[in-house]
Amino acid sequence: MSSDGGMWLLALGPAGATGLYWALYRYYRNTDKSHDFEHETAVVAKPVTGSERDQKVDEVKGTQEKRISGDNVRQYRQRVKRIQGDSG
């Protein structure tokens, strides 16, 4: 193990302490809980459309990122730019 590869180990203590603190705090206080309405509401949906228009627009070469930057496909509650529709 080189010094470079080993030094990160020193973060183990603080990271472990903070991680445990948060895990237990949330277990007691449950600040991260809410109604999972996305999955517990009766939803009837027509088939999703638009996949036929998926269009390749660019290529990425040699990135070290495992996911697309700003990946929010599972962050349903994270609002993005709202284009006004005809709500009524």
Partner 1 sequence: MPTTPPPIPPPTGPGSPQDVPPPRGSVPIDPATLPQPIRDELQAPDPVAIDTSAAELKDGLNRCPKCGSTEIRQKPGTDLLICQYCRHEWHGEGVEEEFGLGEGIDQLQGTVIASGAKDIKADTASLMTFKCPGCGAEVTVNTANAMTARCHWCRHVFGVNEQVPNGAVPDAVLPFHIKKDDAVARISQFVDKRRLFALKAFKEQFTPENVVPVYLPYMIVDGNASAAVAGHGEIETRCYTQGSDDKKKTYYDADVYQVERQIDFTVDDLPLESSSERGNLDTRANTNNIINTILPFDTKNAVKWNASYLAGITSEKRDMDVEKLRPRLEDELLSIARAQVEKSVSRFDRGVRWEQEQLSVHGTRWVSMYLPVWLYSYHQPGPNGGMLHYIAVNGRTGETMGSVPVEQWKLLMAALTVGTFLEAIALFLVGHSS
**Using CB under 8 A, which residues numbered 19 to 48 contact partner 1?**
19-46, 48
**Least Cβ distance, residue 70 to partner 1 (angstroms):** 4
At 27 the three-state DSSP class reads: helix
Listed residue (24, 49, 41) closest to 76, CA to CA: 41
| DSSP-derived secondary structure letter, 67 | S
What part of residues 42-81 is at the interface with partner 1 (CB under 8 A)? 42-46, 48-51, 53-77, 79-81
The count of residues interacting with partner 1 (CB under 8 A) is 83
Shortest Å distance, C-beta 25 to partner 1: 6
Q: CB of residue 27 vs partner 1: minimum separation in angstroms? A: 6
Q: Which two tokens stand for residue 43?
A: 């939803």
